[in-house]
Structure 1
Amino acid sequence: MALRSVDDVLHYLLADAPKWGHEFRDLVHSLGAVLAEDVIAASNVPPADNSAMDGYAFRYCDLQMGRPIPISQRIPAGVIGEALQPRTAARIFTGAFIPQDADTVVAQEDCETSGGAVTVNAAVNKGQHIRPCGQDISFGQRLLAAGHRLQAADLGLLASLGVSQIAVSKVIKVALMSTGDELREPGEELGEGQIYNSNRPMLAAMIRALGCEVVDLGIVADSPAATKAALLLARDSADVVISSGGVSVGEEDHVKAQVEALGELQFWKLAIKPGKPLAYGKLSKVPFFGLPGNPVSSFVTFGLLVRPYLLAMQGVAEPLVPQWPAVANFEWPKAGSRQEYLRARVMPSATGLQVDIHPQQSSGALTSVSWCNALAVIPIGVTLQRGDGVEIIFLRDLS
């Protein structure tokens, strides 16, 4: 198969991603979930005019600087006061509803009290220190749109409306498997020629960060039979299957061949660096991604391609990662035949974002990913001189 461009593959994947169903979930367990429908305010917030300060509520027409006014009632938050009598004041606290007929609040530090009366010692504006009904949220207002991923502040916003359950996308089960006889799990003893499996915890964390459930199939032996059995188990126990390793052209790379035997491979090999040997297909109707075994390649291809796919399945309105303009503090003199994603560190300056790159850009150097906070995007055929513009992707938008 010919190498396909990143943009072409992204367009294909987003169009091919199946749309998931929705469920009602308790608000406290909805962080990171994707809204399945618009959220329309069923009430005003605040529900009534309330005090923005600890102080005293007055009728503005009764105020005269230096003249004592009797205190007729005390209104803590959560207590509904009586209608304010003419030429009296109400002691009021932050958040308490403004009593009927009062129209102004004076902060306690601008007042003096003596003998059950209060005297105002500062200039006053009518209506000051009152938060009006619906100041934050108005009845009927669309607060959040379908396709929005819920953040911590959103949960607080919904709670302020009394929402306890919300319609969100169902959880996607993602089967994760690692291939390679050389792999051992952290904590195990390494033998000759063996390495620790860094892809498994990294990819599992990235999957869970999207609100998906990981079906962990562990390490799969390098044999056609073991690979076939693992793929069948993954297909039958998950909604999406992801493997790392086994999709290149080596004699011990069995994943590609077994996917083709059990289903179909819709593309293989991308014009991307790192991450050229990436596969996508179907096991029956279950989507399959075969990520490269090199850890940097696995990280980059998951973030750029699999992540948007999983977000699109959940109905996210804008699943693609944004790119931002920056200025290169490095040179890239050799034009490549694949779009490159360099591990980079971005720092703000007086003239904008400045980008440095890690000295080690090998696809096996996971230290470069831990060091960086962004990827610098180098399109096919492009060279860079120091001071040239370059697009960057922040790591926070990938992981």
Structure 2
Amino acid sequence: MSSAAPRTTGQDQLWSVDEHLDDILATVRPLEPIELQLLDAQGCVLVEDVTVPVSLPPFDNSSMDGYAVRVADVAGASEEFPAALEVVGDVAAGQADLLHVGPGQAARIMTGAPLPPGAETVVPVEWTDGGLGEGLVTGMRARALSPDGAEGHVQVYRPAEARAHVRAKGSDVRAGDRALEAGTVLGPPQIALLAAIGRATVRVRPRPRVVVMSTGSELVQPGGELGSGQIYDSNSFALTAAAIDAGAIAYRVGAVADDAVTLRSTIEDQLVRADLMVTTGGVSVGAYDVVKEALSYVGDEDEPGSGIEFRKLAMQPGKPQGFGSIGPDHTPLLALPGNPVSSYVSFELFVRPAIRTLMGLDDVHRPTTTATLTTGKALTSPKGRRQFLRGTYADGAVTPVGGAGSHLVAALAHADALIVVPEDVESVEPGTEVEVVLLG
């Protein structure tokens, strides 16, 4: 949660990208840890090391369907001179009472079943005559139902070294080992490990709840009919998907019309399920920029320290931005511009790091690299602005896609990187090394 609104400055000040991001990250705080069931913890970040309480596997067990035997009893076994052993019983996975394998004896064993006392190795069923005519597991089940319990003999055609096809106790992890470190993001493999060592719950920072809403009376829900001057609402879908991709639980709110009272009421209604609010549109200088109208205020007696500050940033696209906190819990709110590319680039630069900070991650930024610019002509950039151009990256080279227009959604859909042109650079020639932000 945020502790206070960012400092108030003159409306004409031009902020750098880094200054704006620093203010956001200085204000947003990681969410408080909670204890969650394993499946509820997927995508969350561990807040403490997890120690293994019991070795995994907890006992020596067979990695094959076959026969548990003594090494000496199968030494020198071959197709011509097989070792003939007395079968003394079956060992199934989960079996508690284990029989003993003595000299000249063998026990049928299933994959995952504990190695019985006296046995030193496992010979696969394919090395014996025990798999002929019926599957080993099927045969074991049939014998379990047999009234006389007859076991018989097995012939082994190949020798086996000691502990062949045996998974040793603790060969995966040992009791007392550190299974997972604090700061680990829990995905399916990590949850599998936690379950395997017997953990039913885990202490994590929860996934942030992010509410996304777009503004504009011209916006229509996809699937509806477009009227004159109307467009489909794409921003709320793009940003909701981006929030989920960043690790959040995201809630999309339908587009809000250009009415300050309605917008403010809608935002206040959504605060109950928000750790972070994101709006798109209505932050520029036009007559209908309702986000500024609704949220440009200094915190009152009921909400001391709250407030949203609207700024002009030295960047393209995405010059108009807003940030602050709202409501009794000082919920962070980021107000992004309404042009689709401006909105998405702003999300990547400012909202995604805020989400990752709420999660408690140390590294909150997209990875960056340098790449050779491959294009037929020089790129131009406005003086004093940090420009972010869409591009495709492969094998150390990056190629621009689309133009610099902030409305070019189709080009954005084909981009997997942002080409960064610094504030003091107005032209970039083909073959130049440029900074690239990788988007996935």
Q: How high is the TM-score relative to the length of structure 1?
A: 0.86
Which letter does structure 2 place at the counterpart of 1:392?
A: V
In structure 1, C-alpha distance between the alignment counterparts of 2:374 and 2:165, rounded to whole Å: 50
Correspondence for 1:295: 340
Correspondence for 2:438: 394
Correspondence for 2:205: 169
Alignment of 1:261 onto 2:304: no
The superposition leaves residues 135-190 of structure 1 with CA deviations (integer Å, 9 ceiling, x where unpaired) of 22222222223333221222222222233322232454433322212212223322
RMSD between superposed Cα atoms in Å: 2.8
Q: 3-state SS of the aligned residue for 2:320?
A: coil
Distance apart, 1:244 and its partner CA: 0.4
Alignment of 1:47 onto 2:83: no
Q: How high is the TM-score relative to the length of structure 2?
A: 0.79
In structure 2, C-alpha distance between the alignment counterparts of 1:10 and 1:142, rounded to whole Å: 35
Distance apart, 1:93 and its partner CA: 2.5
Distance 1:201 1:262, change over 3 A: farther
Distance 1:393 1:51, change over 3 A: farther
Distance 1:93 1:388, change over 3 A: farther
Q: 3-state SS of the aligned residue for 2:192?
A: helix
In structure 2, C-alpha distance between the alignment counterparts of 1:391 and 1:132, rounded to whole Å: 50
Distance apart, 1:194 and its partner CA: 1.3
Correspondence for 1:243: 279
In structure 1, C-alpha distance between the alignment counterparts of 2:118 and 2:317, rounded to whole Å: 69
Which letter does structure 1 place at the counterpart of 2:46?
A: L
Alignment of 1:105 onto 2:122: yes
Q: Name whichever of 161-170 and 301-310 sits farther off.
A: 161-170
Which letter does structure 2 place at the counterpart of 1:31?
A: Q
Cα contact 1:69–1:89 (8 A) shared by 2: no
Larger Rg: 2
In structure 2, C-alpha distance between the alignment counterparts of 1:332 and 1:134, rounded to whole Å: 60
Distance apart, 1:289 and its partner CA: 0.4
Choose the corresponding residue for 1:130, options 151, 166, 169.
Answer: 166
Identity %: 35
Correspondence for 2:137: none
Distance apart, 1:5 and its partner CA: 3.2
The superposition leaves residues 52-78 of structure 1 with CA deviations (integer Å, 9 ceiling, x where unpaired) of 222333333443122514133322322
Correspondence for 1:206: 242
Distance 1:92 1:354, change over 3 A: farther
Choose the corresponding residue for 2:92, options 47, 72, 76.
Answer: 76
Alignment of 1:24 onto 2:35: yes
Q: 3-state SS of the aligned residue for 2:29?
A: coil
Which letter does structure 1 place at the counterpart of 2:91?
A: I
In structure 2, C-alpha distance between the alignment counterparts of 1:245 and 1:235, rounded to whole Å: 19
Distance apart, 1:321 and its partner CA: 1.6
Q: 3-state SS of the aligned residue for 2:342?
A: helix
In structure 2, C-alpha distance between the alignment counterparts of 1:125 and 1:361, rounded to whole Å: 68
Distance apart, 1:364 and its partner CA: 0.9
Correspondence for 2:9: none
Correspondence for 2:350: 305
Cα contact 1:376–1:391 (8 A) shared by 2: yes
Which letter does structure 2 place at the counterpart of 1:105?
A: V
The superposition leaves residues 188-225 of structure 1 with CA deviations (integer Å, 9 ceiling, x where unpaired) of 32222111111112222233445544454432332443
Choose the corresponding residue for 2:407, options 364, 373, 377.
Answer: 364
Alignment of 1:334 onto 2:380: yes
Cα contact 2:74–2:156 (8 A) shared by 1: no
Alignment of 1:85 onto 2:102: yes
Runs of 5+ consecutive residues of structure 2 not aligned to the other structure: 1-11, 133-151, 300-306
Cα contact 1:65–1:119 (8 A) shared by 2: no
Distance 1:143 1:325, change over 3 A: farther
Which letter does structure 2 place at the counterpart of 1:191?
A: G
Cα contact 1:335–1:381 (8 A) shared by 2: no
Q: 3-state SS of the aligned residue for 2:296?
A: helix
Alignment of 1:286 onto 2:331: yes
Correspondence for 1:119: 156
Correspondence for 2:6: none
In structure 1, C-alpha distance between the alignment counterparts of 2:413 and 2:234, rounded to whole Å: 12
The superposition leaves residues 235-284 of structure 1 with CA deviations (integer Å, 9 ceiling, x where unpaired) of 56633221101111222213234323154335623333322212111225
Q: 3-state SS of the aligned residue for 1:261?
A: coil
Distance 1:211 1:60, change over 3 A: same
Alignment of 1:381 onto 2:424: yes
Q: 3-state SS of the aligned residue for 1:278?
A: strand
